[in-house]
A and B are shown apart, each in its own frame.
Chain A
Amino acid sequence: MAVLRPFDKLPVLNTASLLLVGSDQRLQQELAQAIVKEKKSSNISIHLATSLPLSSERDHLRPRIDLIVFMIDIKNKYSLKNVKASLAHVAASFFLGKVCFLVTGVGRVNYCSVEINSIWKLGEVYCSPVLFCELELEGIRVATAQRLLRMLQICAGHVPGVSALSFSFLLRSSN
C-alpha cells in the first residue's frame, strides 16, 4: 500500500507504535533507544525508516502506526526535501494530530542551512506541532524521548479523555 492510513488496522492491546522518518540513521537509533529506556506502562514498538513509502512486502506484519515523527536535520537541506517528498505518501487523516515534526541539530546555530521559516510554514500547512531538539546532548535527548513518549501514548489512545486531535490543538500557538 503506497499511502499510510491511520485507522486501517486494529490496534494491538497495550501496544503503541511509533514511526521515525529521517535521513540520519544514527540519530534515529539513539532517539529510539532513549525512548525505549523510559519508564512506561505499555509496550512500545519503534519503526525506523529513511523515507516513505514503506515497502509493501512486509505490510501485513506491520502493526498500526500511531504516531509519525518526521526528523529534519537543520544542518542538512536534503533531510527537508526528503521529508517533503515523504509527506505525499501519508493519508490526510493522519494529520489530525498523529504527525509531528522534530527538528534536530539546533544546538549549532552556525551550521544552519535550512531556514526556520520554511519549517514553521510546513508545520502550519500540515497543522502539526514542530518540536526542536538537540540529540547530541544527553539531557535534551532524554527530555525529547519523554515528550515523544507522552505524545505517542495519547495518539495510541492510552490516555482516556485526551484524543490526538485535542492534544494537537493544545500544542498550537495561540497567535
Chain B
Amino acid sequence: MAARELAAAVAAAQQQREKDKDKDKDGDQVVAAVDGLYLLRLREQIKQQFLEYSAVADAGTPAAADDAAREMSVLNAIEDCKKDIEKEKASFWNKTLALQRIQLMAAVRDQMKLNDNDSQLLLKTLQDIVRLSQAVVAYQQQARVKEQKVTDIKRQRLLLKEVGRQKLMQIHDMNKLKEEQTTGKMKMLEEMHNDYKKEKNLTTVIQNLFQAIIIGSRVNWAEDPYLKAIVLQLEKNI
C-alpha cells in the first residue's frame, strides 16, 4: 500500500511540477524535484510514521489481565523509574562538578605556563592557599589531640565521681549501723535503768517496812547494837 501511495505521490508531484512551471508561488507549494533524494526522504518519513503507528497499535492491545495488578506493577515501575532518575541526576551533577573543577585547574595551569606577569599573582595565591591549608590541617590535628585529652579527663572525672559516690554510700551505711547499735545500747541502758529504779524502790520500801516494824514493835533498839546498826543503815540510804 505504501508503494502504491508512493507511486501516486510521484505521479502527483510530476503533474504538480508541470502545472506550476510558469506560475511561481513562493513558499505556498513545494516544487519537489522527483529525484532519488526526494524519494529517500519520503521513505524515511514513511518509516518513521509506520514506527509510530505500530507503537500505538502495540500499546492499544491490552493483555487481558486484571486491572489492579497491572496498575500496581505500573505504579511500581513508575516509582523505580523516578528513583533511577534521581540517582542519575545526582551522578550527573557530581560529574559536572568534577569536570568543571578539572577544567578550572587546566585553565589555571595553562595560564601559569603562558605568561609570567599575571602568573606571579596566580603563583602567590596558590602558595597562600597551600600554606593556609597546611596550617588548617595542623590546627585540626592539634584540635583533635586536645579533644582526645578532654575526653580522657572527662572519663577520669566520671570514674572519680563514681568512686566518691560509692564511698559516700559506704559511709551512709556505716552511720546507720552505728546509730542502730547506739540506739540498741541506749535501749539496753534504759531498760537497765528502769530495772535499777524498780529494784531501788523495792529496796526502799523494804527498808521503810523494816524501819516501821522495828519502831512499831517498841523495842528499844538503842540497846541492841545489831538493831542499832540496822536502823542507822536504814537512815543512811534511802
Contact = CB atoms under 8 A, between A and B. Distances in A.
Interface of A: 6-7, 11, 13-14, 36-43, 93, 156-161, 163-164, 174
11 contacts: A13-B42, A14-B41, A14-B42, A36-B28, A41-B41, A42-B45, A43-B30, A160-B45, A161-B48, A163-B55, A174-B89
Contact of A7 (B44, B56, B89): B56
Contacts of B27: 36-39
A157 B56 contact: no
A160 B44 contact: yes
B9 A43 contact: no
Given A14-B42, A174-B89, A163 B52 contact: yes
Contact of B30 (A37, A40, A160, A161): A40
B6 A13 contact: yes
Contacts of B42: 13-14
B47 interface: yes
Contact of B45 (A14, A163, A164): A14
Contacts of B49: 11, 156-157
Instruction: Give the interface residue-count category, chain B.
Output: 20 to 34
B29 A43 contact: yes
Contacts of A41: 30, 41
Interface of B: 5-6, 8-9, 27-30, 32, 41-42, 44-49, 51-53, 55-56, 89
Nearest to B44: A160
A158 B38 CA distance: 12
A156 B42 CA distance: 12
Contacts of B55: 163
Contacts of A39: 27
A62 B89 CA distance: 44
Contacts of B8: 13
Contact of B48 (A36, A42, A157): A157
Given A7-B56, A13-B5, A13-B6, A157 B30 contact: no
B9 A13 contact: yes
B1 to A, nearest CB: 9
B224 to A, nearest CB: 135
Nearest to B56: A7
A7 B51 CA distance: 12
Nearest to B53: A7
Contacts of B53: 7
A7 B52 CA distance: 9
Given A36-B27, A43-B30, A157 B52 contact: yes
Contacts of B52: 7, 157, 163-164
A128 B45 CA distance: 24
Given A13-B9, A163-B52, A174-B89, A158 B45 contact: yes
A3 to B, nearest CB: 15
A47 B134 CA distance: 71
Contacts of B51: 157, 163
